[in-house]
Amino acid sequence: QQQVKQSPQSLIVQKGGISIINCAYENTAFDYFPWYQQFPGKGPALLIAIRPDVSEKKEGRFTISFNKSAKQFSLHIMDSQPGDSATYFCAAGDGSSNTGKLIFGQGTTLQVKP
């Protein structure tokens, strides 16, 4: 029940296209859903995050769509660029647990072709 399932494992998109990565969770206590971007040999960087009180959040070319009833959330990268090529991780956190822990998805390797 603590798992966060992420798909696809890898994704190839042409420059200018839309990249879509999906995540699903089981634990209804989760109330914080961040996305992280990680380049090879670097630590993950927080990209964008959403809480269940909204269904969508947009920051620049990055949008999170959140479906509370389906227990799913997704990351959309509009106008994908070669510089977006990285590994993306979704995660989920339970604020009521007071542990601060995040449960991470398996990761998606995105390649944007020029």
Partner 1 sequence: GAVVSQHPSRVICKSGTSVKIECRSLDFQATTMFWYRQFPKQSLMLMATSNEGSKATYEQGVEKDKFLINHASLTLSTLTVTSAHPEDSSFYICSAPRDYNNEQFFGPGTRLTVL
Residues lying near partner 1 in the complex (CB under 8 A) are found at: 32, 34, 36, 41-46, 49, 89, 93-95, 98-102, 104-107, 109
| Element spanning 37, H or E | strand 33-38
Of 17 and 107, nearer to partner 1 (C-beta) is 107
Tell me the C-alpha to C-alpha distance, in Å, between residue 6 and each of 2, 15, 96.
13, 23, 23
> Least distance from C-beta 81 to partner 1, angstroms?
21
Partnered with residue 64 across adjacent β-strands are 57, 75
> Least distance from C-beta 98 to partner 1, angstroms?
7
- CA dist 105 and 90 (Å) reads 5
Of 58 and 101, nearer to partner 1 (C-beta) is 101
Q: Which residues, in sequence order, are CB contacts of 89 under 8 Å at separation 6+?
A: 6, 35, 36, 38, 44, 104, 105, 107, 108
Of 20 and 49, nearer to partner 1 (C-beta) is 49
> Least distance from C-beta 33 to partner 1, angstroms?
9
> Least distance from C-beta 55 to partner 1, angstroms?
19
